[in-house]
Structure 1
Amino acid sequence: MTALISVAIVLVAFLAVAYVRAPLWFSSLLVLLGTAFAVLARGASPVWLGVVVVVLAVLNLKPLRRALITNPLFGVFKKITPPMSQTEQEAVDAGTVWWDRDLFSGKPDYARLHNFPAPQLTAEEQAFIDGPTEQLCKMLDDWKITHETKDLEQHVWQFIKDQGFLGMIIKKEYGGKEFSNYAHARVVTKIATRSGSAAVTVMVPNSLGPGELLQHYGTEQQKNYYLPRLAKGVEIPCFALTSPEAGSDAGGIPDYGVVTRGSYTDPRTGERHENVLGIRVSWEKRYITLGPIATILGLAFKLYDPDGLLGGKKDIGITCALIPTEHEGVEIGRRHYPATSVFQNGPNWGNNVFIPMEWVIGGKDYVGQGWRMLVECLSVGRCISLPAMSVASGKLAAFTTGAYARIRNQFGLAIGKFEGVDEAIARIGGYAYQMDAAQRLALTGLDIGEKPSVLSGILKYHNTERMRKVLNDAMDVHAGKAVCIGPNNYLAHGYQAIPVAITVEGANILTRSMIIFGQGAIRCHPYVLTEMRSAMNNDGAAFDSAVIGHIGFTVSNAVRALVMGLTGAAFVGSPKSGKTAVYYKQVTRMSSAFAFAADMGMASLGGSLKFKEKLSARLGDALSNLYIATAVLKKYHDDGMPEEDLPLLQWSVQTALYDCQMALDGFLSNHPSPLLGWLMRRLVFPLGMSLRAPADYVGTKVAKLLMEPTATRDRLVEYMYRSTDESDPIGVLDHALKAVIATEGLEHKLRKAQRDGKNVGLTAMDRLDDAVAKGLISKEEHAAVTRARQLKRQVIMVDDFDGNLENPDLGVTTRVILGHSAPAAPVAPKPSTPEAVLAEVPGAPV
């Protein structure tokens, strides 16, 4: 019995110091004192004290520890650690770690999270969104762009150039706007809610490309010449990276250049230059946005110096150059047709094109630095462009679907009040909230100087995947209206363009399975990168410090996961009280569980985890959903914690935590060692998987918020372009929604009167007139119901065309059926049975 009590004392001491993550010396001292107490006060065998003293001495005396423990481990570690290629090394070194490191630690610092500034627009940025951006949106006709002109109209192009849309990221000293990353993203979001093609056109010059690269790496001469011209739209840039044989494997591009001497004519000045040091380049690129119309081509290629003209190594590496597209040998102009989007995109190529060394971005000093330059800039651009377009899709889907589901009736009831439909609307609202929150937090990091490379991968993958989900649900709710494309279909183009966002800037499959956790495990973990570098540098002392810290880190997370799993994290601290406190506690719990599982995965699988892409993807999903949950909590806090937004917060956080739990479950279930998987599960989920997806009633609350003109709805769709024109297919929604809500009581009264035989007539209009004649409703109420029905019909009508599917006529002339007029065009005769005709009349019996 005494022995059991002694073991219990030592065990409790061990759990306590492990849980609080005490330093090794303090933990050792506490364990030693506990053991001494067990021996002296409880009569335990002195052998226990001797064993503990020996173990603690080995752990704390560095020479002894290195000789007996870490040096043998170091030898094994060097053998099993796969070598890191130069491109992998540069990718790991690129960008920064930020809030993602906290999530990887198992102990997120929420005070730090909430001390990050809430993103805000300056007066100048707000004026640009309210002014030129609003004007641009009014000028855009997405149907015309996509199906008629196949490009932005010339006056729209000129407006974009004149107003500085192409120079938002360029510094003011060069004539640009020098907007924050937050403002840049919001401009793209607003335009994308109006036209995806226009958004891409504005987005690309402000993302990864010549402007970004020149500002960071260009020579003063390059900056002074090109940046003012880019800012004013005098030059149209593109950046050519992707080759037919190298897409996501950008490091494997076959395009090459050879250092040599040659002659060329500068297309900018017409001057001839003889026998200058330069590069003869051959390339073939594709998927290059703005490529067909670009005046400046940013080009990535591998550079070789076989004759040693630069005095260094012969295989120099990836290099980036800036080439005027009028230069002899540059071939551009042909176009790809990406889905239904018609933004300018196409291939370009050249064979043995000579360029001077001064056209290398950054000049001769930056040859071979191209990959590092690209991945550093990519960590910024991937947080902005496609995530902003995904946010736009979420806002558009939430705004339109919520309104449509309240306006559209079936069986005398708004379709949004059917539980199957409200479930879909809840997903739309919740995912829109998640996407916006996730990007807002990342933009905050960018604007305080971070370049969060891991978070950029999370945003690119998870925002575009959520975009796919919200548009799928929006299409389901709109049904036939969304299936038949035409000028009044505001969803089809976004839905058809989903593969573009899923594919570009790194295919989503690879981003999820190889990049998020693969990069995050190295960059965000407090010890792994140090261990890997110690192996590369054969530094046993650095490895000793790192591996001891790593062991303590893993043990601490195991203990924390177990204790919080057993207690439901009930005793974990939270920075907020009230209804959100439980979410902070559960994030902390799942952070420790994730950190432990990740460590055990790396320890048990070593370098092979890199090739266990399904396992890596699940760990990436867990990390990503922890990030999304904390981003949602941050957004709610920054918005002032409005009580009416609570259902959106609850749905979003509960879904993210549940998805994190399921990702860990998938990792544990599929671990190659079933025994180890079982043991980890006992620590991570000691009482089973207790987190649940949002309850049905939470989703119903979210759906209701989107089906009414609420303050919550307005906050959710902030920075969406919202026309007030009743003739606009989106602009009419608010008018119709308000009119329908205002007359719902009257419609109910009329239906009841009809059932009771007090209101008669063959058509809906006849019955409405009869209701006035009998005094059931007033003339003013008659007018209100008539207007609501006309607006409703305008919302639910589907575009139709002539027999050649040309000339959409809805809205040009008027079709009159059973006394109900609506914008339409003459059409071929339709079935004239009463049932077929009445089925088209709102409110008519079927």
Structure 2
Amino acid sequence: MSFVIAVVAVIAVAWVLAFVGAPLWLWTVLSALAYAAGVATGSLGAIGAGVLGVPLAVLALLNIVPLRRAIVTRPIFGAFKKVLPEMSSTEREALEAGDVWLEAEMFRGRPDWSQLLTFNYTKLTDAEQSFLDNECEELCKLVDDWKVEFEDKDLPPAAWAYIKEKGFFSMLIKKEYGGLGFSAAAQSAVVTKLATRNISLAVTVMVPNSLGPGELLMHYGTDEQKKKWLPGLVSGEEIPCFGLTGPEVGSDATAMPDSGVVCYGEHEGQRVLGIKLNFSKRYITLAPVATVVGLAFNLKDPQGLLGKLLNGDGTKSDYGITCALVPAKHEGIQIGRRHFPGAAFMNGPIFGRDVFIPIDWVIGGPAMAGKGWRMLVECLSAGRGISLPALATAGGQAAFRMTGAYSRVRRQFKMAIGKFEGVQEATGRIAGNAYTLEAMRVLTASAVDHCAPSVVTAIAKYHMTELLRRSVTDAMDVLSGRGIQQGPRNPIATAYKVVPVAITVEGANILTRNLMIFGQGAIRCHEYVFPEMEAARENDLAAFDKLLFGHVGFSINRGVRALTLGLTGSALARSPMSGPMAPYFKQLERFSAALAFSSDVTMGVLGGELKRKERLSARLGDVLSQLYIGCAVIKFFIENGQKAEELDHARWALDNCLYEIAKAFEGFFDNFPARPIAAVLRLAVFPLGNQYKPVSDRLNQKLADAMMEPSDLRDRMSHLVFRNGGEGDAVVKLERAFELLQTAEAPYAKFFKALSKGEFAGGDTASRLQEAVARGLLNPQEAARVAEYDALRYEVILTDDFAPEYIQGDFSQGDSGIGVTEAERAKVLEFTGGRNRVG
């Protein structure tokens, strides 16, 4: 019995040591003490002492670093170097671009929650807030979504002029150069607000403030280049675009066929060293109206002319991707034609054949030749966290506000459609996703103000645009026929058409999910993997030895932590605070440990093959992404003061995160090629089975009900939605109907209950309301409210209709969705007897 107790005690101590991550020397000391005690007490016989003495000796050997390095590490080091995959310079540059931030804490298995709790959101300055409240409002008022997208296929001249005059193109340019010098958070808010008015307006503004000449000049341009171009970019005299993608190159920019060859040529009457360019660019936003073009191309120097200029060495002939700035009117450039990507923002091709430019037009000067890929990935890693997340949030906020109001105003079967459980499945999801999107937008944009978090911005770009896709689709389902008929009354149709643009640009979502998030995250965020690779490339055995044994201890610790937290329902995990978020902190820590252990085992088993197992790595990337999303939601809830009215939305978002994490792990285990290893991993992550469920119907219903009620929460969750479009604006009418309903709903319900029973003799609404007052069913004030509301209610549920000539492009008569006349409306009511006109 004493032997059994001793064994149990040893196992318990070992478990604790593994759980807390005890160092190797402590394992050795405690093992030696246990061994000595067993021998001294006779618990270990001669055979037991002999058998257990071997692992104890090995353990002791591992503490003698020179001996360990020679006997154990050196063979492993040799094998590791043989299987280490080759990494091209472009892959290395992409991998090293940007900074590691909060995602590293999620990946390492024991998050330091202070990194999240002490991080400060970027607060808008007075100037930034004023710009958002005033200039953005005025610009939105200058734009009519329907006219832009259907009639003009362009922003109105007044909007273009206002954009240039007020510096919308120079938000990221520092004040010292005359720009607005806005934070990433301010840029994000501006783009979000503009996008709720018109997608083309938002894209027009966001592109010059994202990847483009302005940002590249700010970071890499020579003083001369800054002096030449920045004043024009600030004033709006210069409109920039950047030519990166083309027919043969989309997400894989390293396959770029566009070429530049160093040679001598003539420029402004002089023979100068320069580059002869040949390129074909496609899908370039603002190209049709651009005055200055940023170009990316592969630079060759077969004669070594550039090398001789720079350092006297003319042996280098292949420089790789290089960026240059070229005036759009420069000889040989063909520009001005348009693509039509589902919305009216300017987008088109750029062509050039044998275009000669001086070598000084390379961004950063001749010394930056070949550094273009590094420039692009560093700038894109930051810009990816601003523009498209802002568009996604705009769609989420607009869908939340408009669908909530419409589902309350629109009635079927004598009840608001938002009360039907089937509709609530969609509207509750819209509300939960809107909360998630704003939480991610604020945290990610603030992160960009502090550093350049490349993995986090890839997570935000992918998942936020996917949430946009889901939110807009859900909104279309709820609006139904109202949503599919295009016209001035339909504010969501453009967003529905343009969703594929957000899904495609700045790294297609399929690529981002399957290659970037985990592929870059696993190496950059892991505490040991990238340093081990570097040690191997530098042939540094000592560094590799230290990293290797640190990595082994790390993997054991995370595996035991994942199993222990799974067995205890995360009870032993840490939460930095009490209250409603405490259980979620613990759950996220549990899954962080599970991700770290699963990733280590996967990389160890599959090695370089993991790079080709895209669906497996994508699922691990989904886990990492949901961990970050969960952090964003918790941070948002805490920073908002942990308001009770927000708790259901935070719980919805976090419950959904946990369910998505569990689903991703299940898919990963089901498809892991080494089945015994998959079983071990499943046991470690779900020792008691997968107990995570989708968001409950009850919680989803709470969100669906809340979005149909006027409240501070509703206003906060849609605070960037533009709502001042004038009396004829569809959003304004819907908002007004929603407001009127709050006081008209009770008398309106009484009136139509009587109407549905056939109690009125009149043939139209006005005469029936007179009868209702005469009979004492309504008082005059109530009848007036019902009349006002019913007229507006009918207006907001109408769809647009047009003359055939207008649809075919004849806009001379100004026929833009006139709808039915009042007389036709009265006939409809008379025909139906009100039975189907309850909403």
TM-score range normalised by the length of the shorter chain: over 0.9
Whole-angstrom CA distance in 1 between matches of 2:300 and 2:652: 55
Using the TM superposition, give the Cα deviation of residue 706 of structure 1 relative to its aligned residue in structure 2, in angstroms.
1.0
Cross-structure match for 2:143: 140
Q: How does 1:21-40 map to 2 (within 5 A)?
A: 21-40=21-40
Q: 1:287 is aligned with what amino acid?
A: Y
Q: Tell me the secondary structure at the aligned position of residue 95 of structure 1.
A: coil
Contact persistence 1:35–1:48 (CA under 8 A): no
Using the TM superposition, give the Cα deviation of residue 726 of structure 1 relative to its aligned residue in structure 2, in angstroms.
3.8
Once the two structures are superposed, residues 268-304 of structure 1 have per-residue CA deviations (whole angstroms, 9 ceiling, x without a partner) of: xxxx3x1211111111110111111111110001111
Once the two structures are superposed, residues 247-284 of structure 1 have per-residue CA deviations (whole angstroms, 9 ceiling, x without a partner) of: 1110110111111111113xxxxxx3x12111111111
1:408 aligned to 391, 410, 424, which one? 410
Quick one: structure 1 residues 755 and 384, their matched pair in 2 at CA, closer, same or farther if it must change by over 3 Å?
A: closer
Contact persistence 2:397–2:717 (CA under 8 A): yes
Quick one: structure 1 residues 803 and 537, their matched pair in 2 at CA, closer, same or farther if it must change by over 3 Å?
A: same
Using the TM superposition, give the Cα deviation of residue 818 of structure 1 relative to its aligned residue in structure 2, in angstroms.
5.9
Q: 2:823 is aligned with what amino acid?
A: V
Quick one: structure 1 residues 770 and 65, their matched pair in 2 at CA, closer, same or farther if it must change by over 3 Å?
A: same
Using the TM superposition, give the Cα deviation of residue 64 of structure 1 relative to its aligned residue in structure 2, in angstroms.
2.3
Whole-angstrom CA distance in 2 between matches of 1:607 and 1:572: 33
The normalised TM-score by structure 2 is 0.95
Using the TM superposition, give the Cα deviation of residue 48 of structure 1 relative to its aligned residue in structure 2, in angstroms.
5.7
Using the TM superposition, give the Cα deviation of residue 443 of structure 1 relative to its aligned residue in structure 2, in angstroms.
1.5
Q: 1:199 is aligned with what amino acid?
A: A
Identity of aligned residues (%): 49
Using the TM superposition, give the Cα deviation of residue 755 of structure 1 relative to its aligned residue in structure 2, in angstroms.
6.7
Q: 1:282 is aligned with what amino acid?
A: N
Q: More displaced, 744-753 or 704-713?
A: 744-753
Contact persistence 2:286–2:348 (CA under 8 A): yes
Q: 2:115 is aligned with what amino acid?
A: R
Q: 2:7 is aligned with what amino acid?
A: V
Contact persistence 1:750–1:759 (CA under 8 A): no
2:115 aligned to 107, 112, 117, which one? 112
Whole-angstrom CA distance in 2 between matches of 1:515 and 1:121: 31
Quick one: structure 1 residues 762 and 153, their matched pair in 2 at CA, closer, same or farther if it must change by over 3 Å?
A: closer
Once the two structures are superposed, residues 186-214 of structure 1 have per-residue CA deviations (whole angstroms, 9 ceiling, x without a partner) of: 00000000000010000000000111001
Using the TM superposition, give the Cα deviation of residue 747 of structure 1 relative to its aligned residue in structure 2, in angstroms.
2.8
Contact persistence 1:764–1:841 (CA under 8 A): no
Cross-structure match for 1:278: 274
Cross-structure match for 2:496: 495
Contact persistence 1:100–1:454 (CA under 8 A): yes
Q: 2:119 is aligned with what amino acid?
A: F
Contact persistence 2:798–2:819 (CA under 8 A): no
Cross-structure match for 1:823: none
Cross-structure match for 2:589: 588
Quick one: structure 1 residues 716 and 495, their matched pair in 2 at CA, closer, same or farther if it must change by over 3 Å?
A: same
Q: How does 1:615-654 map to 2 (within 5 A)?
A: 615-654=616-655
Cross-structure match for 1:269: none
Contact persistence 1:322–1:360 (CA under 8 A): yes
Whole-angstrom CA distance in 2 between matches of 1:774 and 1:354: 87
Cross-structure match for 1:129: 132
Once the two structures are superposed, residues 478-510 of structure 1 have per-residue CA deviations (whole angstroms, 9 ceiling, x without a partner) of: 000110000111010000111111111111111
Whole-angstrom CA distance in 1 between matches of 2:804 and 2:183: 50
Using the TM superposition, give the Cα deviation of residue 758 of structure 1 relative to its aligned residue in structure 2, in angstroms.
6.0
1:74 aligned to 67, 73, 77, which one? 77
Contact persistence 2:801–2:819 (CA under 8 A): no
Consecutive unaligned residues in structure 1, runs of 5 or more: 266-271, 821-829
Whole-angstrom CA distance in 1 between matches of 2:319 and 2:143: 46
Whole-angstrom CA distance in 1 between matches of 2:815 and 2:63: 80
Q: Tell me the secondary structure at the aligned position of residue 307 of structure 1.
A: coil
Whole-angstrom CA distance in 1 between matches of 2:75 and 2:506: 43
Quick one: structure 1 residues 36 and 768, their matched pair in 2 at CA, closer, same or farther if it must change by over 3 Å?
A: farther
Using the TM superposition, give the Cα deviation of residue 780 of structure 1 relative to its aligned residue in structure 2, in angstroms.
0.3
Whole-angstrom CA distance in 2 between matches of 1:30 and 1:441: 45
Whole-angstrom CA distance in 2 between matches of 1:475 and 1:374: 36
Whole-angstrom CA distance in 2 between matches of 1:402 and 1:641: 23
Whole-angstrom CA distance in 2 between matches of 1:24 and 1:401: 59
Quick one: structure 1 residues 136 and 833, their matched pair in 2 at CA, closer, same or farther if it must change by over 3 Å?
A: closer
Using the TM superposition, give the Cα deviation of residue 41 of structure 1 relative to its aligned residue in structure 2, in angstroms.
4.8
Cross-structure match for 1:19: 19
Quick one: structure 1 residues 703 and 840, their matched pair in 2 at CA, closer, same or farther if it must change by over 3 Å?
A: same
Whole-angstrom CA distance in 2 between matches of 1:585 and 1:327: 60
Using the TM superposition, give the Cα deviation of residue 65 of structure 1 relative to its aligned residue in structure 2, in angstroms.
1.8
Whole-angstrom CA distance in 2 between matches of 1:653 and 1:768: 49
Q: Tell me the secondary structure at the aligned position of residue 257 of structure 1.
A: strand
Quick one: structure 1 residues 504 and 42, their matched pair in 2 at CA, closer, same or farther if it must change by over 3 Å?
A: farther
Cross-structure match for 1:827: none
Cross-structure match for 1:683: 684
Q: How does 1:468-483 map to 2 (within 5 A)?
A: 468-483=469-484
Cross-structure match for 2:301: 305
Contact persistence 1:304–1:314 (CA under 8 A): yes
Using the TM superposition, give the Cα deviation of residue 423 of structure 1 relative to its aligned residue in structure 2, in angstroms.
1.1
Using the TM superposition, give the Cα deviation of residue 575 of structure 1 relative to its aligned residue in structure 2, in angstroms.
1.9
Q: 1:435 is aligned with what amino acid?
A: L
Contact persistence 2:28–2:56 (CA under 8 A): no
Cross-structure match for 1:659: 660
Cross-structure match for 2:456: 455
Using the TM superposition, give the Cα deviation of residue 541 of structure 1 relative to its aligned residue in structure 2, in angstroms.
1.7
Whole-angstrom CA distance in 1 between matches of 2:56 and 2:302: 63
Using the TM superposition, give the Cα deviation of residue 51 of structure 1 relative to its aligned residue in structure 2, in angstroms.
2.9
Using the TM superposition, give the Cα deviation of residue 431 of structure 1 relative to its aligned residue in structure 2, in angstroms.
1.2
Contact persistence 2:487–2:816 (CA under 8 A): no
Q: How does 1:343-492 map to 2 (within 5 A)?
A: 343-448=345-450, 450-492=451-493
Q: 1:187 is aligned with what amino acid?
A: V
Quick one: structure 1 residues 660 and 677, their matched pair in 2 at CA, closer, same or farther if it must change by over 3 Å?
A: same
Whole-angstrom CA distance in 2 between matches of 1:731 and 1:41: 86
Whole-angstrom CA distance in 1 between matches of 2:564 and 2:340: 56
Using the TM superposition, give the Cα deviation of residue 7 of structure 1 relative to its aligned residue in structure 2, in angstroms.
2.9
Whole-angstrom CA distance in 2 between matches of 1:170 and 1:152: 23
Q: Tell me the secondary structure at the aligned position of residue 385 of structure 2.
A: helix
Whole-angstrom CA distance in 2 between matches of 1:40 and 1:388: 69
Are residues 1:606 and 2:607 paired? yes
Q: More displaced, 1-10 or 350-359?
A: 1-10
Q: Tell me the secondary structure at the aligned position of residue 497 of structure 1.
A: helix
Contact persistence 1:13–1:34 (CA under 8 A): no
2:822 aligned to 803, 815, 824, which one? 815
Using the TM superposition, give the Cα deviation of residue 71 of structure 1 relative to its aligned residue in structure 2, in angstroms.
1.6
Cross-structure match for 1:268: none
Once the two structures are superposed, residues 688-707 of structure 1 have per-residue CA deviations (whole angstroms, 9 ceiling, x without a partner) of: 01222221111111112211
Using the TM superposition, give the Cα deviation of residue 9 of structure 1 relative to its aligned residue in structure 2, in angstroms.
2.2
Whole-angstrom CA distance in 1 between matches of 2:815 and 2:481: 17
Q: 2:250 is aligned with what amino acid?
A: G
Q: How does 1:676-825 map to 2 (within 5 A)?
A: 676-723=677-724, 725-753=726-754, 761=762, 763-806=764-807, 808-811=815-818, 814-817=821-824, 819=826
Could you say which structure has the greater relative contact order, defined with CA pairs below 8 angstroms and 6 or more residues apart? 2
Contact persistence 1:32–1:49 (CA under 8 A): no
1:154 aligned to 157, 180, 197, which one? 157
Cross-structure match for 1:834: 831
Once the two structures are superposed, residues 383-434 of structure 1 have per-residue CA deviations (whole angstroms, 9 ceiling, x without a partner) of: 0111110110000100100110001001111000011111101111111111
Consecutive unaligned residues in structure 2, runs of 5 or more: 308-313, 808-813
Cross-structure match for 2:167: 164
Quick one: structure 1 residues 728 and 833, their matched pair in 2 at CA, closer, same or farther if it must change by over 3 Å?
A: closer
Cross-structure match for 1:579: 580
Whole-angstrom CA distance in 2 between matches of 1:713 and 1:259: 59
Cross-structure match for 2:810: none
Q: 2:744 is aligned with what amino acid?
A: T
Contact persistence 1:39–1:49 (CA under 8 A): no
Cross-structure match for 1:192: 195
Cross-structure match for 2:543: 542
Q: More displaced, 806-815 or 225-234?
A: 806-815
Cross-structure match for 1:64: 67
Once the two structures are superposed, residues 639-685 of structure 1 have per-residue CA deviations (whole angstroms, 9 ceiling, x without a partner) of: 11110011110110110111011101111110001111011111110
Q: 2:831 is aligned with what amino acid?
A: P
Q: Tell me the secondary structure at the aligned position of residue 138 of structure 2.
A: helix
